[in-house]
Structure 1
Amino acid sequence: MDLHSLITLTTGITLLTCVLAVMGLHSYAMGRAQRQALVDRLSATGQITVGGRPRRFRKLDRRLRRTTFGKKLELRLAATGLDITPGEFFVYMLATVAGLWLIGQATLAPFFGPLAGLLGIWVAVQFLNWQRQKRIERFINQLPELARMLANATQAGLALRTAIGMAAEELEAPAGEELTKVANLLAIGHSMDDALGELADRLPSRELVVLVTTLVLSNRAGGQVVEALRNLTETLEERKETRREIRTQLSQVNLTSYAVPVLGVGSLFLMNSIKDGALDRMTGSPIGQACVLISFGLYAVGFLLIRRMSRIDV
């Protein structure tokens, strides 16, 4: 091979390498952009968390998400709107259980340690239920405004998907956050029924079910969606005022339901302070332990009965 042929071959290989390098960089840039777009959508729908504060206990969190308990816990946390992973919540719950166990064992008697630990689990579950219910109540209070915005946007000739996107930008949390998830699900190909159904599953309430049913039926069969939404807005306003009046009238009853078990636990501290070691002697026999368990069970029944009687479904 002469020198001219060698120069031509080297030049051709160099040009081919440059072309392949440019194509590789272009493919890398496109893949990176697509990945970032996918991450943004999944982050908005709550399936992954990107940015923000650094996450703790990542290994435990990954293992926990694979279990049935972890999946249910993740859904419950998503409904509360808390910025916490299942792994973090599980560790904090265990720390609370351990702390209450030690406090109950040290201040009362060794028998009360496991009972205090069970109380820690109950407190964690009730905390999630309270956060979830508070978020649902806030969302219900925003439903009249949401229905009014959807009616105005639909009357102006906008599609329902576009109206939901506009409402997600205009409304504050939690309605804005939840509608953003719905809009992102619609953007990646989910049907209107599935996206709104997931919203109703995350924040279950009669008012939201009525709104979702109205939107789904209107999207399927068409019809007077504007008139239906305006009538629904008036109904939601009336239900909002009714719920507020009922909550005000039942506030004292709800406070009583929590005061009953607090008085029971306070009596234990009072007994132990009057005569040191009284709880140790009382729980030192099977009969005393059985009496304590029965008394705690009666307090729990009383708490549940008061809560049940004070619950009025509107």
Structure 2
Amino acid sequence: MDNLPLLTIGVTLLTCVFAVIGVHVYSSGKAQREALVERMSHTGQIANVTGRRRRFIGVDRQLRTTKLGKRIERKIAATGLDLTPGEYVVYVVAGLLALYFVVGAIFAPYFGVLAALTGVWGGNAFLNWQRTKRTEAFIGQLPELTRVLANATQAGLAMRTALAMAAEELDNPAGEELRRVADQLAIGHSLDDALGELADRLPSRELVVLVTTLVLSSRAGGQVVTSLRNLTETLEERKETRREVTTMLSQVKVTALAVPLLGLGFLLMINATTPGALDKMTGSVLGQFGTGIAFALYAVGYLLIGRLSRVQV
């Protein structure tokens, strides 16, 4: 018992050593876990080559476990945006709150509610627009892509090697999408599955024709070079046709946007000439119902104009 103080000090020091070791192991394990979660969270998406620090990691982690989060993740993957589902949802919610307070302060609180509901549709429409924009850019690169593939296969390279070479030579978005296809082929995916996922991410008739040509050529053999040369000429002609159609329909698209903007302009005029008129108009259930019907008709007009001006080339 004479050595009790010394024994106590020794046990205390040993406990401190074990505590330090435990903290070190815990911190390193936590860092490895976060790195693993970060890698797994971007499965099916383009790697974050910019090294940007992700925000709202907790929200993103919880959101990915839901069906809504998985659907948002697939949409973001098709757009090529450097966003996580958590960041997208937080930004959309912040935008909805800003719309509600700003529009409600300018017009009336009821219009703030309508603006927030419109913002929910606008968030989804933004992703669809980004996906369409990326698809159009990819379609514009298809003639160059088929030309590179034809040259590579004519030189005796396999289709997998030709796709990897095209991913290095082409600019984005074709370069990113083909790198994703090359990565999938490198880890054991079949050519059919990798190209099929590409066609699902960027749906277009031109890409479906290209994928079908490559898949059939890989299955049954045949003259891939001749098919790709002919396809290159066809894609060049379709590219010019699409450009002409887009130019012809530009005025119709402006009209579709001008129709609802005129309605908002009339509301501003009414509110400027008679202050408080919008508050009185939306102060009753009948006024709110009529205002909702009017906005719904504007939305239907916008959608109908866009639908009628949509030409499939």
Distance 1:125 1:204 in 2: 17
- The aligned counterpart of 1:213 is 212
Amino acid in structure 1 at the alignment position of 2:177? E
Deviation of 1:156 (Å): 0.9
Once residues 199 and 126 of structure 1 are traced to their aligned partners in structure 2, the CA distance between those partners, rounded to angstroms, is 21
Matching of residue 155 in structure 1 with residue 154 in structure 2:
yes
Q: Distance in 2 between matches of 1:77 and 1:184?
A: 19
Distance of 1:242 and 1:49 partners within structure 2: 36
Equivalent-residue separation in structure 1 for 2:47 and 2:151 (angstroms): 34
Partner residue in 2 for 1:91:
90
Matches of 1:214 and 1:42, distance apart in 2: 33
2:136 aligned residue:
137
User: In 2, are the aligned partners of 1:167 and 1:176 still within 8 Å (CA)?
Assistant: yes
Q: CA deviation at 1:78?
A: 1.0
Deviation at 1:288, TM superposition (A): 1.1
Contact 1:45–1:185 (8 Å) recurs in 2:
no
What 5-or-longer segments of structure 1 have no aligned partner? 1-31
2:99 match: 100
Q: Secondary structure at the match of 1:55?
A: coil
Partner of 1:116: 115
Deviation at 1:232, TM superposition (A): 0.6
Indicate whether 1:272 and 2:247 are aligned.
Answer: no
Return the letter of the residue paired with 1:304: L
Alpha carbons 2:192, 2:215 under 8 Å: kept: yes
Q: Which residue of 2 aligns with 1:243?
A: 242
How far is 1:111 from its partner?
1.3
Paired position in structure 1 for 2:68: 69
Query: Does the CA contact (< 8 Å) of 1:42 and 1:48 recur in 2?
Result: no
The CA deviation string for residues 36-58 of structure 1, in whole angstroms up to 9 with x for no partner, is 9xx6x996952764761100000
Within a 5 Å distance, the mapping from 1:1-314 to structure 2 comes to 46=45, 49=48, 52-314=51-313
Give 1:213's aligned amino acid: T
The 8 Å contact of residues 44 and 181 in structure 1, kept in 2 or not, is answered as no
Q: Which residue identity is paired with 1:268? A: L
2:109 is paired with a residue of what secondary structure? coil
Residues 46, 77 of structure 2: 8 Å contact kept:
no
1:129-169 deviation line (CA, Å, top 9, x unaligned)? 11111111110000000011111111111100000000000
Amino acid at match of 1:294: I
Displacement of 1:259 in angstroms is 0.7
Using structure 1 for the length normalisation, give the TM-score. Answer: 0.85
RMSD between aligned alpha carbons? Answer: 2.0
* Counterparts in 2 of 1:245 and 1:303: CA distance versus 1, 3 Å: same
Call closer, same or farther: CA 1:73–1:45 in 2, change over 3 Å: closer
